[in-house]
Amino acid sequence: MFTGIAHGKFRAAVRKQDDGILKLTLDLGGYGRDLAIGASVSVNGVCLTVVANTEGVASFEVASETALISNLGELTDGSNVNVERSFRIGDEVGGHILSGHVADVVTVQSNTVDGSEALLEFVVPEAWRRYLMPKGFVALNGCSLTVAEFDRQSGTGAINLIPETLRRTTFDEVAEGDRLNLEVDAQTQTVVDTVRAMMSDKKWLQSIQ
């Protein structure tokens, strides 16, 4: 589990193995020196398992399905990624609870930098629009963010990025057309799905009375 507060951005070495598995290697320095084999790390919001670690140089394997539904399959040597280690019970949760299981990707419409801040506009696939709302939580590339604006019909949304977020993450590199990994808030999804199921059951009961 993660909090959506990225520790920083790190440069990835990317290699596709003969079996189709994508191997990512990240030099995490001191942040990853004590990572055990089998530990979970969020890389651009995707929960990956450490398969090797030598003095903070950690390696991960990305299955073809994960590469397909996320933007990890688009990484090349030298790409920067957002990284967060899993949190421990008792740690401060500065963002919101994330599983690292991305639902889909959103497409960036624009990333307008104004001084030290930025306005990121994006489009959400239709299947996930019901779970987003203004002032609600969303995770993009593993970062817990607050939705500033959202039009459910068109799926267009906007997020304000503060200077600290731009310094700590890859959002200062994001451009029109880029795809960002999306994880919706689990509590919001549960509430929305429960209400929709109850409404569906109510309509069915009314139809047979």
Same domain, 109 and 180: yes
**Tokens describing residue 17:** 């193995």
pLDDT in tens, 121-164: 999 999 999 999 999 999 999 999 999 999 999 999 999 999 99
Q: Record the pTM.
A: 0.91
**Number of independent structural domains in the chain:** 2
- Round to whole Å and give the CA distance between 29 and 45: 20
114 plus 74 within the same structural domain: no
Both 169 and 129 in a single domain? yes
**Of the candidates 85, 120, 142, which is a domain's last residue?**
85
Say yes or no: 108 and 37 in one domain: no
- The answer to whether residues 120 and 186 belong to one domain is yes
Residue 70 lies in a domain: yes
* Shared domain check, 81 and 23: yes
**Separation between Cα atoms, residue 63 and residue 60, nearest integer Å:** 10
Residues composing the chain? 209
Is 74 found in the same domain as 17? yes
Q: Which of 52, 85, 118 is the last residue of a domain?
A: 85
Residue 3 has pLDDT above 90, yes or no: yes
Whichever domain contains 163, its CATH number is: 2.40.30.20
Say whether both 112 and 173 belong to one domain. Answer: yes
User: What is the residue range of 77's domain?
Assistant: 8-85
- Look at residue 90 and tell me if it is in a domain: no
Asked if residue 93 belongs to a domain, the reply is: no
**Cβ burial 118-128 (10 Å sphere, 16+ → b, else e):** bebbbebeeeb
Residue 29 dihedral angles phi and psi, to the nearest 5°? 60, -140
Mean pLDDT of 46-65: 96
Residue 152: alpha-carbon gap to chain centroid: 20
Q: pLDDT tens-digit profile of 169-187?
A: 999 999 999 999 999 998 8
Whether 151 and 69 share a structural domain:
no
What confidence score (pLDDT) does residue 164 get? 92
How many alpha carbons fall within 13 Å on the CB side of residue 81?
Answer: 31
Going 185 to 170 to 73 to 99, the CA torsion angle's sign is: negative
